[in-house]
Amino acid sequence: MEFLVPFRHPWVLLGLLLPAALLIWIWSGRGQRLFLPFDHGRATRGKVLSTLLRSAESLPALILTLVVLLLAGPQRWDEPQAKKVLTNIEFCVDVSGSMTASFGPGNRYDASMIAINDFLNFREGDAFGLTFFGNSVLHWVPLTTDVSAFRCAPPFMRPGNIPSWFGGTEIGKALQACRKVLTSREEGDRMIILISDGFSSDLNGNRGDEIVRDLIADNVTVYGVHVAGGSIPAPIVDITSKTGGAVFSPGDVEGLAYVFQRIDEMQETRIEKTSSEAIDDYGPWTLAAMALLAGTLLASFGLRYNPW
C-alpha cells in the first residue's frame, strides 16, 4: 500500500464530504439563478460564462478540501536508507608463556596487540571485544564500539605479568567462552579472531567437532592467526574452514599486518536497506491551497454572480 498517500489522522478525511456536497450543489445547476427581462431580445444560455462562474464559485470548496487534507496530516514515503550491518568481533588472544618468544623487534604478544589496534581502524563502526586466555579465560574488554580500552590493554596482560595458572593453552575453552559473549548480542554478524602460537590438547578427539557445531549453530565465523613457526595445528584449520573463516601463519611483523588486512577484506561489511518511513509532507498541499486562495481573491473582482 506504499503507493497511496498516507495520512497521520485518516479519520479527519471524513470532512471531505462537506466540500464534495458543495461542489455537487454548485455544478448541479441549483445554485444562484437570476432572471432578467429583455424587450424584444433573444436571451442565450451563456454556457461559457456559466462554466467560468461555477468554476470560480468552486474555488472556496476546493480550498476547504485542502484544509481538510492538511488537518489530516499528509505524509509521504521516505527513500529507504542504506545501513551498515554491525559486526561483533571478539579477539581471542593467547597469553601463555610461549607468546613471549621473539617476533620482530618485540615478542609475539606485543606484535599481536599492535596488529589488533591497527585492525580497529579498518572496521570503524563495528563492535569489538577482547578476551585473553591460557588455561583460564579472562574477558578483558566487553563488546563495544568504543575502542579506547584496547589501547590501554597490552601492558596489563603481557604474558610475563599474568598468574602462573594462565600459562597453558586451552583454545577450545576460549572459543566456547567467546561464542557465549557473541551470542549475548542479538544484532549483527559474529566473528572470532583467534591469535595463538601453540597446540591445544582440549581440541583432541571429537571436541573440535562439538565446538564447530556450536559455532555454526550460532552463526559465528572464526579466523585464526598462528604467530609461530611450523605447521598450523590441524584442529585450528578444521574449525576456521568449517565456520567460513580461514587461518594464517605470518612469518614476520609485516606479514602479521597483512593478515589482518586480509581478514578485513574477506569479512566484508554488509549494507542493508532499511524500510521506508512515512514523513510529514505539508509543502505541496500548502502551496496548492495558497494558489487557490489567490485565485479566489482575483475572481472576486469580477468573475462572480451579481445580486441584482
Is a pLDDT exceeding 50 seen at residue 131? yes
Q: What is the pLDDT of residue 214?
A: 94
Asked whether the whole model's pTM tops 0.85, one would answer no
Compute the mean pLDDT over every residue in the chain, rounded to the nearest whole number.
80
Bridge-partner residues for 137, per DSSP?
133
Average pLDDT estimate for 67-86:
74
Q: What is the pLDDT of residue 179?
A: 94
**Which class for 113: exposed (0-12), middle (13-18), buried (19 or more C-beta within 10 A)?**
buried
Structural domains in the chain? 10-36+44-78+276-299 (no CATH), 83-272 (3.40.50.410)
Is a pLDDT exceeding 90 seen at residue 23? no
Sequence-distant (6+) residues with CB within 8 A of 54 are: 26, 27, 31
Residue with cell 478540501: 65
Is a pLDDT exceeding 50 seen at residue 92? yes
Dump pLDDT digits (tens) for 198-256: 788 888 878 888 999 999 999 999 999 998 878 888 899 999 999 998 999 887 788 88
Amino acid at 137: V
Dump pLDDT digits (tens) for 176-197: 999 999 998 877 789 999 999 8
Q: What is the pLDDT of residue 3?
A: 44
Q: What is the pLDDT of residue 81?
A: 59
